[in-house]
Amino acid sequence: MALFNVSHPASFLLTGIPGLESLHPWLAGPLCVMYAVALGANTVILQAVRVEPILHAPMYYFLSMLSFSDVAMSMATLPTVLRTFCFDARSIAFEACLIQMFLIHSFSMMESGILLAMSFDRYVAICDPLHYATVLTNEFISGVGLAVTARSFITLFPLPFLIKRLPICRSNVLSHSYCLHPDMMKLACADITINSIYGLFVLVSTFGMDLLFIFLSYVLILRSVMAIASHEERLRALNTCVSHILAVLAFYVPMIGSAKTKEIRRAIFRMFRRIKL
């Protein structure tokens, strides 16, 4: 019963870019274009993989999974981002914020898992090509898709309840134009140790492990490629990995960048001020 007696705000207030509120109407246009390009490009990929028999291969199936999760991620953030920047409508109901938080983190974790599966696909294709067709079967690919989805749902299912158990009374203003678990838990006027520990556990056991195994797969791929005598064959093998490497960088670099806390940013600013003085 204590869970339902905890005080929560009826709604949260979202924030665009702090300090640049006057520029939000000007930023709305580019944001709309970015969303349109992302949704359009991923829809084209999904349709192409569906109708073109030549694309009915493991690599493209994984690519279509990645495109689907990217579309879902865009749809999860698009309503609040556009409302905030286009109409300055910053309010979001508490329950709606919990749902958006769960969806954003879930689809983000799904993307990470799919990128790991794609690295395994490249590893088998380059390091063990004779068994590629027998390992990367349609059943295996379907199983990977189900496993990635189940992992996201099971791992992140406790998050809304961990937030709901906290009394939120410091403020109801979030730091982004969408809802995230770290942002929400910092508003609690109670001990958030459990939330912090579980959040760290999720980060390390999923995103961290995925990145580690992606790195290890490319170490093995490079070792296998370096053993190829022909320079042209080496380049041809590495070229098949370029798109995946770019996708990994596009996914993980912003995530690592967004994990710099305000305290770290302030410390960096202070360091530069000392250098100028």
Task: Give the chain's domains with CATH numbers.
Answer: 2-276 (1.20.1070.10)
Q: Which residue has the higher pLDDT, 177 or 252?
A: 177
How confident is the model over 8-32, as a mean pLDDT? 85
CA nearest 142: which of 88, 196, 72, 61?
Answer: 61
Using CA atoms, how far apart are residues 277 and 208, in angstroms rounded to an integer? 39
CA distances in angstroms from 254 to 41, 167, 212, 233, listed in the order given = 20, 31, 17, 33
CA distances in angstroms from 164 to 184, 190, 207, listed in the order given = 10, 12, 24
- Could you tell me the pTM of the whole model? 0.86
Region at 230 (left for phi over 0; alpha for psi -120 to 50; beta for the rest)? beta
For 191, phi and psi rounded to 5 degrees?
A: -65, 125
Using CA atoms, how far apart are residues 177 and 258, in angstroms rounded to an integer? 14
pLDDT above 90 covers a percentage of the chain that reads 64
Residue 91, strand partner residues: 13
**Summary mean pLDDT of the chain:** 87
As a residue count, the chain comes to: 277
Using CA atoms, how far apart are residues 180 and 193, in angstroms rounded to an integer? 17
At 3, the pLDDT band (50, 70, 90 cuts) reads very low
Least confident of 132-136, 173-177, 202-206, 272-276: 272-276
Q: Residue type at 207? A: F
Radius of gyration of the chain measured on its C-alpha atoms: 22
Element containing residue 13 per DSSP (H, E): strand 11-13
Q: What is the pLDDT of residues 100-112, one digit of tens each?
A: 999 999 999 999 9
Using CA atoms, how far apart are residues 206 and 129, in angstroms rounded to an integer? 28
